[in-house]
Structure 1
Amino acid sequence: MQIYLPIADLPVNIFLILAMGAAVGFVSGLFGIGGGFLMTPLLIFLGIAPAVAVASVASHIAASSFSGAISYWRRRAIDPALAGVLLCGGIIGTALGVSTFTLLRALGQLDLMIALSYVALLTSVGGVMAWEGLRAMLRTRRGIVIPARRSGSHGWIHGLPLKMRFKRSKIYLSIIPVVLVGIFIGFLGAVMGIGGGFILVPIMIYVLRVPTSTVIGTSMVLTLVTMLFATMLHAITNHLVDAVLALILMVGGVTGAQFGARAGQKIRGEQLRLLLGLLILAVGIRFAVELVIRPEDMFTIRETGVTE
């Protein structure tokens, strides 16, 4: 069954889009991540323009993060003060990201930059996660126990000025690295169409030393607000948000996430990290292959929107 996407300007099989949403939703529920780093590449591989894919997936991520953020708020697993400081940087980063997105699109370099960014980010993050997961599995088989890092312990970051007490997380930390992390995640989400949870959560745990009890909920608040802001800016400045596409993805994503969450409870943590790392690495390699193979059509005609 074909359906026409008005902004993407092409017909697609509605069942294929629903299946993609369900598959990415399953992965999101399985690993506890947003899934934007998978959804955006899949849409691009399907033939949807990278600019439309990035802008449309931003709204999908925002909707997916909303229910999760509400759930964590009810369980008091969100640090409002920490989320507020992160959002100060996140809003700035998102605005910078959309401006960069618009500039690259005007210069005709947006598709290339999105592809290169995905290759660099996914291959590096996926490789590290796969290696760490494999090492953890080998240590478990050998019976080697590695003591976990204690949340709230001090490092060089804790010596920076402009400190603030985050009562819910029970940490006393400079707002400088928190704002910088927010800027980075906001920028990344606006340019690449990813929530950034798979990067933000490890940074908050291992660099900022935020307790795991508040990490995921707080990161979801940042993802929710920055993706909503990115969607609004993309819709106003670039007119690239395809509401029909986003709605279909949401329906499939919500369904798949329920099954993924159940499956994730039956798999060991180190196995999950290895599988996620391999998955991210595979998508990065796929993007790299797309950059070097010879396209079937050597030339494309695209409307620039510029009139005399």
Structure 2
Amino acid sequence: MDIYLPIAGLSVNILIIIGLGGVVGILSGMFGVGGGFLVTPLLIFYGIPPSVAVASSATQITGTSVSGVLAYMQRGAVDVRMGLVLVAGGILGSIGGGFVFRWLQKGGQIDTVVALLYVLLLGTIGGYMAKEALQTILASRRGHQMPFQRRRHHPAVAALPMRWRFYGSGLYISPIAPFALGLVSGVLTVLLGVGGGFFVVPAMIYVLGMATGMVVGTSLFQILFVTAATTLVHAVTTKSVDIVLAILLLIGSVTGAQLGARIAARISPEWLRLMLATIVLLVALRMALGLGWRPDEIYSVQAG
């Protein structure tokens, strides 16, 4: 059962695209990530042009995040004040990222830049998360009690001025730090079609010192608004949003997000981090291999 995508300019199997959306939705609900770091490469592997995959993924993540945020707000696991600061930085970053995306698109370098950023960011973040999760799991199996380390914000964050109290997270830090994280997240959302969660979630834990239980819902909260802004940026500047593709992905992902939130409640945080790290590293490896593989056709002709 195929359907034609008007912006991508090709036909795709409806069930495969909906299935991809479902997988992304589960990841969103489990880990607090928008899932774009997975669905964008998969769409590219499937044959969707990178620019269309990036822009349409951001559109779909907006809908997925609505479902996930509602599930976590019902459990009181969203720090709204922290989320709003992240959103402010993310919206500004998405606007700036839109100009960068358009500049790279005009220069014909967007495909290479997207692949390199995926390899560098996912490889680094995934490796760090996997190392910590494995240490905790192995220590537990050997009967050794890992020394308790209360999550504290990074010393650089402590040096920033103008502290605020974030009651939901139990933090007393400067809003400059989460604003900066949101800014980077916004740029990544535009350039890579990701919600930024794969970057923001580890940063909120290891840089801001937030408790793991509050991180997922707060991350989804900021992803919701940032991806909505990113969708508008792409629609106005790059004109690469394929609404048919986004709707197909959304059909599967909304249901998947609710399922993912229920699964996450039954799994320990260490195993959740290890699972997310494994997925991140596998995607990074596949993108790295793609950069080195010789294509079947070295040259191609495409109507502009």
Q: Which residue of 1 aligns with 2:114?
A: 114
Q: Distance in 1 between matches of 2:153 and 2:287?
A: 39
SS of the equivalent of 1:165 reads strand
Question: CA 1:224–1:125 in 2, change beyond 3 Å: closer, same or farther?
Answer: same
SS of the equivalent of 1:3 reads strand
Contact kept in structure 2, 1:8 and 1:242, CA below 8 Å: yes
Q: Which residue of 2 aligns with 1:130?
A: 130
SS of the equivalent of 1:172 reads strand
Residue ranges of structure 2 left out of the alignment (5+ in a row): none
Q: Distance in 2 between matches of 1:299 and 1:112?
A: 16
The aligned length equals 304
Q: Which residue of 1 aligns with 2:78?
A: 78
Q: Distance in 2 between matches of 1:256 and 1:195?
A: 16
Alignment of 1:105-254 (within 5 A): 105-151=105-151, 155-254=155-254
Q: Distance in 2 between matches of 1:190 and 1:284?
A: 19
Q: Which residue of 2 aligns with 1:7?
A: 7
CA RMSD for the aligned pairs?
A: 2.1
Q: CA deviation at 1:136?
A: 1.9
Q: List per-residue Cα deviations over 1:168-210 (Å, max 9, x = no partner).
A: 4342211222221111111111111111223212212221123
Q: List per-residue Cα deviations over 1:273-296 (Å, max 9, x = no partner).
A: 223222211111111111111111
Q: Distance in 2 between matches of 1:104 and 1:296?
A: 25
**Percentage of matched positions with identical amino acids:** 46
TM-score using structure 1 length? 0.90
Contact kept in structure 2, 1:64 and 1:254, CA below 8 Å: yes
Question: CA 1:230–1:202 in 2, change beyond 3 Å: closer, same or farther?
Answer: same
SS of the equivalent of 2:240 reads coil
Matching residue's letter, 1:169: S
Question: CA 1:111–1:165 in 2, change beyond 3 Å: closer, same or farther?
Answer: same
Matching residue's letter, 2:236: I
Q: Distance in 2 between matches of 1:85 and 1:178?
A: 6
Q: CA deviation at 1:146?
A: 2.0
Contact kept in structure 2, 1:152 and 1:170, CA below 8 Å: no
Residue ranges of structure 1 left out of the alignment (5+ in a row): none
Q: CA deviation at 1:11?
A: 0.3
TM-score using structure 2 length? 0.91
Matching residue's letter, 1:226: V
Q: Distance in 1 between matches of 2:167 and 2:30?
A: 30
Q: Which residue of 2 aligns with 1:94?
A: 94
Question: CA 1:90–1:27 in 2, change beyond 3 Å: closer, same or farther?
Answer: closer
Alignment of 1:58-73 (within 5 A): 58-73=58-73
